[in-house]
Structure 1
Amino acid sequence: MDIKQLRALLAIAETGSATKAAELLRIVQPAVSRHVRLLEEELGVELFERERHGMVLTEAGRTLVEYGRRALQELDRAKAEIKPASGAISGTAVIGLLPSTCELLAAELVATVKARHPQLVVRLNVGYAGNLLQWLEAGDVEVALLYDTKSSPGLHVEALLDEQLYLVGPAGTFAPGEEQTVERFRGLPLILPNAPHGLRSVVEHACAVAGITPVVAVETNSLAVQKNLVGKGFGHTVLPSSAISEEMETGVLAGAPIVSPNLSRRIVLAHAATRRLTPAASFVSAELVALMKRLVLDGAWPGASWISA
């Protein structure tokens, strides 16, 4: 088994065709087919089912693709780390972002990185905290933003900021500067993430302490759907300001901080303690922290307070 064979396997898995894989890899189609045939002979299993409309991974093929992708990622990171420094950073940095932070961070982070190091590729993987933690542990992302996670022997965590949570409703629901309490949840139809999402747990815990049974009207694992349903009047939700900054500015949604009890979440930056960061990932994570600090201190991240040194 060699690198060329693994790259051929991944290319066919991505495109569903040996011909398209050959175009992607810029080699001839018989070479791609030969790489996969040699893999199958070595392992003694079929990696693809050859169907009329393309090539579909078998169970064994899916397993090898999963491990093969991680192996190639590790090799690419090693090459980037040992390549002689020339002042410019290249390679790929795989960063995990929370859905609620993307509107504030993604575009400006990419613009900053590209201005400094045009050859550096930023890969932004977006997911809820539980998914991001799994991706970190598996090596699918190098650095990720998480909520309220503690350091452990396998995970290095740096606390960055505390973020106020807002009760969010349709346009005109709250007056400017208005504040809300958890008591407002009583009987209020809520649109919340699926359990056991961290935000759902925060809301349910606050309601339990207040003796309130939350009325969950809709569950969704999509932030966009969550905000769309609120905007159309199907209920209220609870989100940090970073997730609704644009909608509040344009008047699509209204939000009021929840102050009694104060509901907030802590955002941390995490990476695997057992895996060295590539120069690309180190640079991008440093720029990400600097960007977040600037947004908080400039007042562009309402309801957030900076806690990192």
Structure 2
Amino acid sequence: MDTKDWQALKVLRETGNITKASELLFISQPALSKRIRNLEEEFGVKLLLRSARGVEFTSEGEHVAAYAVEMLNRLQEAKDTVQNMGVLRTKGMIRIGAPNRFAHRVLPGLIRVFSARNPEIRVHIRSAYTFEILKWLRNEELHVAFVRGMVKQPNLEGFLINRENVCLISGSAISLEDLPRTPRVVYSTDPPLHDSLEVWWQKMFACHMKTGMEVTDSQTCIQMVRQGLGYAIVPQYCLDGGSSGLFVEALRDHEGKPMQRETYMVYDRKYLDLTAVRKFVSFIRAECPPPKGL
């Protein structure tokens, strides 16, 4: 086995599909299938089962795939360590994960300043919903991550860097009493925000929410609200494009406390041994002091 074999098994494990895996690996399907057959001959067992739905690993295949992922992680860790061993000059790479909106509106400015101060540190950024970022963090594919809500795991450290209101928006003035009778435009978001809004609704109202429309992203949701198709509940950062033509009100819970969305930076403390990571964590602490009131 070599690194290409490890990568092929890793991607197949993630996608469960030969076609998708070959596209991500930039090789043809026949070439990928041949690589798997060669591995099966090497180990003397069947690694994959093919069906109309895709591929599934056998128990032996799952064991080999887990080994492949572990070896890729160890190889990346070795590269990171070697690249960060410079004493006189800071070298290396830092792998960062961030929620989509944070990656679009906040991270570019931070990275611009950090890179200007540390030009020899390479930065790799991946963006997704928080739940996917946490999966990457657990799989040791990231050094640090920006996430919505604090994560409690024994090996992780973190600190609050931002807090923003969750807002009710509508095309015209609307009261909380009107919400049960008014259609809500719902957009796909990560589970923590979805769950917190479900709890908020249950404590505020004795009826089910009236869903009028479902869309895939916050900006489409906001435009639907502008057209008078219902109200929506969005974090304040979703309104960075402007709230012209919208009624906007910060939500409060049943005790009158503001509903807020918090962003944390988290990292596995072992990565502080890497110079690049240590410098980036210190930089974020200095550039993003805790919000007032803490």
* Aligned: 1:16 with 2:17: no
CA distance in 2, matches of 1:181, 1:268: 32
Partners of 1:196 and 1:18 lie apart in 2 by 33
Q: Which residue of 1 aligns with 2:152?
A: 151
- 1:75 aligned partner: 75
Asked whether the 8 Å contact 2:131–2:190 carries over to 1, the reply is: no
| Alpha-carbon separation, structure 2, partners of 1:277 and 1:238 | 41
Alpha-carbon distance in 2 for matches of 1:264, 1:8:
42
Q: Which moved more, 1:124-133 or 1:4-13?
A: 4-13
SS in 1 for 2:200: helix
* Distance (whole Å) between structure 1 residues aligned to residue 44 and residue 169 of structure 2: 57
Match of 1:210 in 2: 204
> In the comparison of the two structures, how many residue pairs are matched?
270
Task: Give how far 1:117 is off.
Answer: 3.2
Identity of aligned residues (%): 19
Is 2:127 the partner of 1:126?
Answer: yes
How far apart in 2 are the matches of 1:265 and 1:289? Answer: 19
**Alpha-carbon distance, 1:290 to partner:** 4.0
State whether residues 169 and 231 of structure 2, in contact with CA within 8 Å, keep that contact through their aligned partners in structure 1: yes
Partner Cα distance (2:43, 2:223) in 1: 49
**Runs of 5+ unmatched residues, structure 2:** 12-20
The superposition leaves residues 143-202 of structure 1 with CA deviations (integer Å, 9 ceiling, x where unpaired) of 2223333533243232334321111234xx46xxxxx87445332322234587222222
CA distance in 2, matches of 1:88, 1:154: 25
Partner-residue secondary structure (3-state), 1:246: coil
Which residue type is aligned with residue 76 of structure 2?
A: D
- Mapped partners of 2:78, 2:121: distance in 1: 15
**2:92 equivalent to 1:90:** yes
- Secondary structure of 2:170's counterpart equals strand
- TM normalised by structure 1 equals 0.67
The equivalent position to 2:185 in structure 1, one of 174, 177, 191, is 191
CA distance 1:43–1:217, change in 2 (3 Å):
farther
Q: CA RMSD in A?
A: 4.0
Matches within 5 A, 1:108-257: 108-170=109-171, 173=172, 182-183=176-177, 185-194=179-188, 197-213=191-207, 214-248=209-243, 251=244, 255-257=248-250
Distance (Å, rounded) in 2 between the aligned partners of 1:183 and 1:198: 25
Unaligned runs of at least 5 residues, structure 1: 22-32, 50-56, 175-179, 297-304
Distance of aligned partners of 1:211 and 1:6 in 2 relative to their CA distance in 1, 3 Å threshold = closer
For the 8 Å contact 1:47–1:58, the answer to whether it is kept is no
SS at match of 1:269: strand
Deviation, 1:15, is: 0.7
Once residues 81 and 181 of structure 1 are traced to their aligned partners in structure 2, the CA distance between those partners, rounded to angstroms, is 56
Deviations 1:202-243 (A, max 9, x none): 222222222253222233453343334334433222222222
Could you report, residue by residue, the CA deviation over 1:101-122 in whole angstroms, capped at 9, with x for unpaired residues?
2343132133223323344333
Amino acid at match of 2:275: P
2-side partners of 1:45 and 1:287: how far apart?
50
* TM-score relative to the length of structure 2: 0.70
- Check conservation: 1:195, 1:201, Cα contact below 8 A: no
Query: What are the superposed Cα offsets for residues 24-64 of structure 1, whole Å, 9 maximum, x if unpaired?
Result: xxxxxxxxx8x877544323357799xxxxxxx95449966
Tell me by how many angstroms 1:245 deviates: 1.3
Distance 1:123 1:232 in 2: 39
Following the alignment from structure 2 to structure 1, what is the Cα–Cα distance between the partners of residues 176 and 273? Answer: 42
After superposition, the Cα gap between the structure-2 partners of 1:18 and 1:266, relative to the gap in structure 1 and judged at 3 Å, is: closer
8 Å CA contact 1:183–1:210 kept in 2: the answer is no
Q: Distance in 1 between matches of 2:260 and 2:128?
A: 19
Letter of the structure 1 residue corresponding to residue 234 of structure 2: L
